Structures are given as structure tokens and as C-alpha cells.
Structure 1
Amino acid sequence: MSNPIINELIQNRIIPESICHWSELKGGTHSKVGVIGTLNSPKMYVVKSNEPQRIAAETRFFQIYKEIPSLPSVRYVDPEYRYFVYDFIPGETNYNRTRKQELMSDLTKLMLQFYVQAESLDEYEWVEDPKRVTEDILYSESIIGSHLDAADHALVKDIHLRRQKRILRADLYVLHGDFGVHNFLFEEGKLYGIIDPLPKLGRRLYDVLYAFCSSPDGLHLPILVNAAEQLGNEPIQTHELIEDMIMALYFRIATCLLHHPEDLTLYQTAWKEWKLY
């Protein structure tokens, strides 16, 4: 084949010589992702290339959680972290927007309950660092603008100030970091695989909220309370959970305006519901 990475993998006997099929997929902002296989099985492995620090971070994440079946099984990591190879996971990112409660329950059973606390090797960014969150608020405010009222922007800043102490006390886990429906694979409507982490450190609740807000359906308090309770950490403080949700929803509205403006009305409806709690 003319692809240099595939030729390198074949020469080093990482993949069989019968590999002759390559199809490029849409990856992340900086990733290049291709599916490779044989004439009879065109989808056997995925080859993902990126900046070395990104590849090192992602493959470290997969090493930590290598026992989780819903995550890719890594076959090979380039010693210089230019790329890595994992087994192809079948499925589509066609999430059914009427099944939020089922999705959140499945995410806990397949992934969230296995999260581990960070070790010294896990030098990932702390996603809820108060300084970082302040910057994220200001950036989101610049995107959202008049789509929310001035009082709404002020509410988010007040919540940020109030919750800093409990954020600082929280245990830090190794998180997926991009835990949204765009990175979930479904087979016949059921959650089957989880791909493309951007590993971070933080509370498990961060990934819960990220997943919950990543689609505009089912954004109701009982569903979120049920998902948070399934983590089994400690009794849920509902008022704190509501504050965390308002923060997560605020950031999601900014993301929506940038990438999925067609969902804005649904997120604005959810915002009105949550700020009344």
C-alpha cells in the first residue's frame, strides 16, 4: 500500500500482510483516523495519528482502563507516539434522543463505575481548576451573549464562586474528558462502545454532566439525580447538583452555538427549567 504507516506496520509485523484496505474517517480536530482491513474484512483495525503528547495521553488512558470492554482494545502504540492501532468497534453515533435515562444508566454500568483515582503518572489537566473554569466562563459568555439574559451570566459567576471550596476538596479521577454522544457507539439502539477520550482529571460527576448535557433531550432533574446516585459515592446534595448542572449547561449552550445551533431552542428551554430550581 502507499500509506507509509500501514507499510511500517506490515514491515514490523504488527498487522498481517493481507491488509490492503484503508478508509479515512472523520477524526477529531487534529487527529487523522483510518480503518484498515482485508478484502474480506475491510474493518479490522483503526489507526489513529496525532501529536505525540495527544497519543501518549490517550493510550495511557486506555492502559488504565484496559479491562473495560466498551473501550477500544489497543493493539500497538508507536514508540515515538506518532500513532496507535486498536481493534475496530462496530456501531454508529446515532443516539436515540428518547432514551436519556437508559443511556445514563448504561454509561454508569459500562464505564463510570470503573473510574479510578489519579496516580502520579497521570499528569492530565485538572478540568475543574477554578482558574480554568473562570476562563471557560468568560469565553462561553462571549459566545452566548444575548442568547441568555445578563442575570443568567451573573448567576453562573455566582455559582462558580460558591462551589470552589467543595471542588477543591473533591477526589480527582481519570476522566474520559469528551464524554458526549458524539463519542458513543450504538448497535440496535444500545450503547456498545466509547471512543476518542481527551483525558482529564476531575470529579466523576464532571463526565456524568458532560454526557447528560451532550444532547438536548431528557434534561430533567430526576434523571440526573438517578445517574448521580448510581455512582455510589455519598448522598447526593440536590442543591449542589443543580448548581453543577447549571454550570455544565451554560458551557454546553456555548458549544451548541458553535457547532449545533439547531439545538439552541431546546437548550434554552432546559435552561429556563433548571434556573427555577
Structure 2
Amino acid sequence: MSFGVLDGDGQVAQIEGHPFGQISFTGQRHAAADVRLLSPILPSKVVCVGKNYADHVAEMKTGDAPSEPLLFLKPSTSVIGPGDAIRIPPGSTNVHHEAELAVVIGARGARHVTEEQALASVFGYTIGNDVTERDMQRSDNQWTRAKGFDSFCPIGPWIETDLAGIGKDPADLQVTCTVDGELRQDGRTSSLLFGIPTLISYISQVMTLLPGDVVLTGTPAGVGPLTIGGSVTCAIEGLGELTNTVTGADTVSTAR
């Protein structure tokens, strides 16, 4: 398992160590088709933002839009990569997809940064799927269980570190989600109630964002159920597609 840089020719140039700081190449190159992409990062934490699109607030029917960012966490054990299976918990029939722009924090981290300083803390951008057990979310009055199951945070397929270089602006990207060929979500990050600099600054006043941490910025309207045997594809322009299958849960115990 190693990090690499994907170039425009479909080749992955392997690097030594992690991608933060000065990159050193090993000299090994692989065709992208010959490698298995894992989650491009395993963060110490995934900081998520709820109710950050007005149309999603309206469809959820759980009150008005928040006056400040609504934060919650997903554990690192929920993170999976492209092609991995989202595992539905036993007895659950209401697990939803939530396509989101994911912001990856860079080498300097972020602690008590201003909105003007916030983007200097960003390493790059990728796609996230904030998978949620909706019945548990409604019954628990807090969201840890509903959003924290193993496999409930697909991230990938790669981290784009230079969106401007490909003519894209993270403040105005199309975000879509397709389930079994049906388009469910179609929004733009220009509709975020709280933009990326605001989110990073706000979170950094509460907790230190470490290198590799991920901020999920919220989901547009159109969330809906996933079913065992299906597949879900989240796509963001400039960032590719993140596709995962949906299976039943693995209930193998660690106990001996």
C-alpha cells in the first residue's frame, strides 16, 4: 500500500511516504487500470456539516436552516475507498446516500485560522458519501450511531490538489449522485449556506484539524435509500466518480 501521483496519461507515479510536504518519487510507475484505489486518505477524523444546503434542509423537514455550521463527526473506521462495499446494518431498511464535496487538510493543519487564512490549510479536494441510517438519526437525537457504522464514509477516488489548474473552482462545482442508474442528487457547491473558508475557520476554533483530516461540506437535496445488491455513484466535476456497491453487514466478531 502506498501513495502515488496520477498524471494525465493514466499512469500512477509511486511516492515515498505520505503526500504532505516535499514529494519524493520512487521511480516506479503503474498503469491506473492495474492498481486498486483505496481511500486516498485515512483521516484522524472526518468532520461533517449538516443542513448546509437550503434545498436539503427543506426536504428533511426538521426545522429551519442553522444560523451557524452544524457539526458532527464520523469515525475513521467508517472510511472506505472506491469500489468497496457499503454494508447495511442488520435489520436496517432506511440507509441513505449523501453526496458531498470533501476537503482534505494539508501539512500545516488548521487551528484558530481566519476565513482569509483558511484555504492555505487545504491540501486538496475529493468526493465523500455521508451514508446515514435515517431511522436511527431521527430516533437518537444525535447522529453518532446513524452515521458512524463501519463503511458509512466512502471517500475517493483521488485528491485533486490543483482544481484551478484544471479550470475548476471549489466554490462552484456540480455534485451528483446516481443510484442504480437513477439520478437522485444534482446540486452545486455555489449553493452551500456556509462556504469552505467559513467552515474551516469555524471548525478550527473548536478543534485542531490535523494533516489528512477531512471536512465533508454538506449534501444537496435528493437523498434517498440504498438497497442491498445495488450500487451508488457520487460524482463531482473535476474530481471524478466514487462508486460503491451495497451489501449486507459483516457481523464477524473479534472475540475469541
Which TM-score applies when normalising by structure 2? Answer: 0.23
Whose RCO is larger (CA < 8 A, sep 6+)? 2
Q: Which has the higher helix share?
A: 1
Which TM-score applies when normalising by structure 1? Answer: 0.22
Q: Which has the higher strand share?
A: 2
